[in-house]
Structure 1
Amino acid sequence: MSDAPLPTTLDAWLARLEAAHPVGIDLGLDRVAEVARRMGLLSRPLAGRVITVAGTNGKGSTVALLEALARAHGLATAAYTSPHLVRYNERLRLNGVEADDATLMAGFAAVERARRAGDPVSLTYFEVGTLGALWAMAQTPPDLAILEVGLGGRLDAVNVIDPDVAVVTTVAQDHAAFLGTDLEQIGREKAGILRAGRPAVLGSRQLPASVRRVAGELGASLFALGEAFGRQGEGAGWSWTGCDVGEGALSLEALPDPGLPLDNAATALQALALTGVTLEVDACRRALAEVRLPGRLQWLGQWCLDVGHNPHAAAYVADRLAARPCRGRTLALLAMLGDKDADGVIATLAPTIDAWVTASLPGERARSAEDLAGRLEGQGAAVLHRAASPAAAAAWLAARLMPEDRVLVCGSFFTVGEVLEWLAREREAAQTDTDHSGSEEAR
């Protein structure tokens, strides 16, 4: 970044950060650790306890579940996630509330001062955002900080902070340009968040052997789904068994369906118990009943929005759609980035989709609607329309939906975020029309 005056708005800050580093993703901890050291982030505890969550899928829902469960038990919380759907502020939540612009800008300014204090250090957009969020948390240390890894684990900026409990949710292929396609190597990268002698919670029954090997090499205490903890049942009324920090047996019965993967809910319960929190069944039930996470099988009328962008995530979505049949058509609005496995996602979703609308995404990682349509037609799928953007695709679909139809919006955070904004504008316009009509009738 230049020595120009600091921006005075969040949008200006974000524009500056996007242009500050020669590449968007630059894995490694040396630069970010140096700035963190200058900021004092490595010399004092960030929070009473820290849980770091890595994985290919399920990170966001596990973080949301952890946050809801901790707050239901009366803990002060801070949660850092990425990417965001609509507003950058979504990335940092303090006691369940999105950080305001002033808090985020103060964090960015603190990073900038430290970055220049000595030999200047170049940082990526994500690295500045991570350090700024950590600084904001540290101003009033919470009882529990929950940190979501952005990419990989070992070399992700979040990993400058030592967690008290580390969670690996799932390991599958994604971000192949940075992590490769070897699941054993990907697992080793994800396991880079584990720490010697501290609990490691494994939230999938199908993790590569490399994750356990790393835990063994470090001497981390291993708590695996289906072994140290588990769940029984599906939907409302499921139960959980696990253990506390002393490995004493725990159990919770008659739990509500959180509307998120139950394996992730079970994982969150186990991770929280390992921080020393005494799980109370009423608090857990309340948290699971109230937790919400936009963009994860989020239903808004006829629209179902899910950010899944790899075959593993698509399989979960397909299963949930199949378990919820509708009388009309199931249509899909698909827009994906060019570095994602579009063919795998299409093949996984195809049995549950009657017809498709494709849309283009902007930017250097873009994949065109035409490219997606060609791949769909190559697999024998019916493509109804090709749109220039997700919002344009949503508008086209909305004009042609029958009351019994439903639409799955998927393929990318960008896709879901844009359609969420479009739906919000449509609802606002409809409400304005209703209010105006009511005013006219009252005259």
Structure 2
Amino acid sequence: MPDTFSNDLPKTLPAWLAHWEQLHPVGIDMGLARVSEVAERMGLIRGGRLQGERSPQVITVAGTNGKGSTVALLASLAHAHGKRAGSYTSPHLIHYNERVTLDGEPASDALLVQGFVQVEKARRAVPEISLTYFEAGTLCALWCLAQSALDVVVLEVGLGGRLDAVNIIDADVAIVTTIAQDHAGFLGNDIAQIGREKAGIFRAGRPAVLGSQTLPSSVAETAAALPAPVYALGEAFSRTPLEHGAWSFQGSSAPSLTALPDPGLPLDNAATALQALALAGVELTPPAVAAALEQVSLPGRMQWRGQWCLDVGHNPHAAAYVAERFKALPEGGRRWCLLGMLDDKDAAGVIAALKPVISDWVCVSLDGPRGRDADALVNDVAAQGGRVHHCAGSPEGGAEWLRERLADDDIVLVAGSFFTVGALLAAPHFGSSG
């Protein structure tokens, strides 16, 4: 590598992100050959294991919905049990640093820049290898995690599973949360095939945790073919609702836990996290579990700001979960939805799932090549008999229009995309009264 190598590199995190956005000819390029080669050049993996100061237990999470909440629960539970935990998730809501957490804190700009320097140095070795934005970000995240002397590392699959960049690491415990149609352009519409792709993170002889009772049979079949021991919700482990929002957990290789607090996230995911962490060798204790469930938070998932509820759900399955939560809210004024979606998402399905709990709609446009125009969303809402009161060129514009018209007992659901929710969370004074 020439001595001038470091002189022509970006110096800031925003500059590095701009570099990776422009490097590869396509945004998504499924496959592990390129990213595996760069990882080996970086010394990140050996025999499928993450190399660093320690050899952490790695838990990988795939699925259509519920990945983010499961990752957050795993990290919170591990930390509460005295373990140093780190995680990698995507996408982010406001700051890129959110994608990599180290012992509960987002990675610093300086650490991420160091990581990207290592990725670029390895990538440029002969023969030079091109990487996508996600692949480069995954390698940087793995480098940051490997440097941080962690006991537990939690990795969220970005898309699919078998061919996702995260899958260059052999998971000690692998989780599939839910299976539904999403990213049809890459994964297709065959639920059985989608299940096989998600189950591609399983490894022979290592636990495969199934976090939903409605997974296609192809997920368990993939595990059996390896073979990998299967721990399925409703069979090997379960959760039972109790009075006043409490619940209990019964699992394998884990103590039974009762009178657990509601984490404000899906209980299936909380039970899945408990089972996976026990299989990763963490001895669960009731006080630590209770503390973790009370402290866990996940921005953008049923997150309340005054009268506003923000949820990044962008497919019918996720929207149906939000609708069920809304049904439990007290009667009151109007139930609005500020909706902004990407063009490759099932807008009609999301609207259909939300329609039973939404009386009034505001549609907003999202920027970028994948952004859906507000006028197209209006047509989708109108086709199902919904009342659209306003169109705006941005989530911020829609929120400003709506804020001036809300009654005290109205509620607004902000939904449809990470971009919709992220824009409002980043907006000054969002959620303040009019």
Superposition TM-score tier, normalisation by shorter sequence: over 0.9
Matched with 2:40 is 37
Counterparts of 1:353-372 in structure 2, within 5 Å, are 353-372=358-377
Gaps of 5+ in 1: 431-443
Spell out, residue by residue over 1:295-321, the C-alpha distance to the aligned partner (whole angstroms, 9 max, x if none): 000001000000000000000000000
Q: CA deviation at 1:324?
A: 1.0
Q: Does 1:160 align with 2:165?
A: no
Equivalents in 2 of 1:326, 1:84: separation in Å?
Answer: 33
Give 1:33-112 correspondences, 5 Å limit: 33-43=36-46, 45-46=50-51, 47-112=55-120
Q: Distance in 1 between matches of 2:57 and 2:279?
A: 10
The farther-off stretch of 110-119 and 44-53 is: 44-53
* Deviation per residue, 1:318-360 (Å, 9 max, x gap): 0000111341111000000010000000011001001000000
Residues 428 and 315 of structure 1, relative CA distance in 2, 3 Å threshold: closer
Instruction: Give the alignment's Cα RMSD to 1 decimal.
Output: 1.4
| Alpha-carbon distance in structure 2 between the residues aligned to 1:375 and 1:109 | 45
Note if contact 2:365-2:374 (Cα within 8 Å) is conserved in structure 1: yes
Contact 1:337 1:366 in 2 (8 A): yes
1:5 to 8, 15, 32: 8
Deviation of 1:428 (Å)? 9.2
SS state at 1:196 partner: coil
How high is the TM-score relative to the length of structure 1?
Answer: 0.93
What does residue range 8-407 of structure 1 map to in structure 2 within 5 Å? 8-43=11-46, 45-46=50-51, 47-233=55-241, 236-244=245-253, 250-407=255-412
Aligned amino acid, residue 273 of structure 1: A
Runs of 5+ unmatched residues, structure 2: none
- 1:206 is displaced (CA, Å) by 0.5
TM-score normalised by structure 2 residue count: 0.95
Whole-angstrom distance in 2 between the partners of 1:211 and 1:361: 35
Contact 1:328 1:404 survives alignment (8 Å): yes
Q: Are 1:236 and 1:254, in contact at CA under 8 Å, matched by a contact in 2?
A: no
Q: CA deviation at 1:364?
A: 1.0
CA contact (8 A) 1:326 1:405 kept: no
* Matched-pair contact (CA < 8 Å) for 2:183–2:345: yes
Aligned letter for 2:350?
A: V
1:395 and 1:303 map into 2 onto residues whose CA distance is: 12
Measure the CA separation in 2 of the matches of 1:101 and 1:76: 20
Q: Specify the SS of the correspondent of 1:257.
A: coil
Identity of aligned residues (%): 62
1:77-131, CA deviations, whole angstroms, 9 ceiling, x for partnerless residues? 1100000000000000000000010011111110000001220000000000000
**Shift of the alpha carbon at 1:139?**
1.3
One-letter identity of the residue aligned with 1:384: H
Name the CA shift for 1:366/1:45 in 2 (closer, same or farther; >3 Å). Answer: closer
Q: Do the aligned partners of 2:31 and 2:165 also contact (CA within 8 Å) in 1? A: yes
What secondary structure does 2:251 align onto?
strand
Shift of 1:426: 4.3
CA contact (8 A) 2:403 2:433 kept: no
Number of positions where the alignment pairs a residue of Structure 1 with one of Structure 2:
423
